[in-house]
Amino acid sequence: MSVNTLNAYGRITILEDAIAQIAGLTALECYGVVDLVAKKLSDSVADLKNIKKLSKGVKVTTSGDRIYIDLYVIFKYGVSIEAVGEALRNSIKYSVENFTGMLVEKINVFVAGIKV
């Protein structure tokens, strides 16, 4: 799927994978986030082959001009899960909205583990 927008210069189509890569890169830059977790088996196989994907652990769905993002992350031990989760949502919302020019309706953060 893709997200479409129209401006004075023409039509712009953004693939969900591009949005997932922006969200994944932004998530890895946030303090307290150690890694993203594979959301499907093919991502786990890619990890075994040492293929790094920025969209690993990010699921993007769209409805009209609204974007919904699910993140599967591993946090650093000792950080406040609530504080890091909120900072993560705010950072990703800003980055994706700035990148696409569209609204991010909802960001769900799933903590898959804690790394010491």
Task: List for the chain the helix, strand, coil content (%; round to 5).
Answer: 35, 40, 25
Q: What's the whole-model pTM score?
A: 0.83
Residue 26 structure tokens: 């932004």
> Strand 33-36 and strand 2-7: pairing?
unpaired
Q: How would residue 30 be classed by pLDDT, with cut points 50, 70 and 90?
A: very high
Percent of the chain clearing pLDDT 90 (strictly above):
59
Q: How would residue 41 be classed by pLDDT, with cut points 50, 70 and 90?
A: low
CATH architecture of 2-115: 2-Layer Sandwich (3.30)
Residues with Cβ within 8 Å of 106's Cβ and at least 6 positions away in sequence, in order, are 68, 69
* φ, ψ dihedrals at 22, nearest 5°: -65, -45
Locate the domains of the chain by residue range.
Answer: 2-115
